[in-house]
Amino acid sequence: MATSSPYGTLRETSTLARGDGQHVLVVAREPELAELLSTTLELAGYRISLADSGTEALARVGRQRFDLVVLDGELPDLAELGRRRPVMLAHRPPALLLTVCDSLPGLLPELGPGETDYVTKPFRVAEVLARIHVLLRASVPDPDRAGQLGYGDLILDDARCRARRGARTLDLTPAEYRLLRHLLVNAHRVLSKEQIGRVVWGDPRGGNAIEQLVSRLRRKVDHHASALIHTRRGFGYWLGRADLEP
- Angstrom CA distances, 212 to 61, 97, 128, 198, 205, stand at 46, 34, 31, 16, 12
CA Rg, the chain, in Å? Answer: 19
SS3 229: strand
d(CA 224, CA 73): 42
Rounded Cα–Cα distance for residues 156 and 145 (Å): 10
Name the pLDDT band for 105 (thresholds 50, 70, 90). Answer: very low
100-104, 154-158, 233-237: which has the highest mean pLDDT?
Answer: 233-237
Cis previous bond, 122, omega within 30:
yes
Under a CB-based contact definition with an 8 Å cutoff, are residues 213 and 179 in contact? yes
**Residue 219, pLDDT score:** 95
Instruction: Return the percentage of the chain with pLDDT > 90, whole number.
Output: 26
Could you give the CA distance from residue 218 to residue 133 in angstroms, rounded to a whole number?
23
For Cα atoms 25, 30, 33, give the angle at the middle one, nearest 5 degrees: 65
Question: What are the pLDDT digits (tens) for 28-86?
Answer: 989 999 999 999 999 988 999 999 988 888 888 877 888 899 988 888 877 666 555 44
Q: Give the single-character DSSP code of 191.
A: B
Q: Across all residues in the chain, what is the average pLDDT? A: 79
Residue-range domains of the chain with CATH = 4-139 (3.40.50.2300), 143-244 (1.10.10.10)
Contact of 99 with 85, CB cutoff 8 Å:
no
Burial of 31-61, coded b for 16+ CB within 10 Å and e otherwise, reads eebbebbbebbebbebebebbbbbbebbebb
Identify any residues that bridge with 25 across adjacent strands, giving them in sequence order.
Answer: 49, 69
Residues 158-203 have pLDDT tens digits of 778 889 998 899 999 999 999 998 898 888 888 989 888 888 887 7
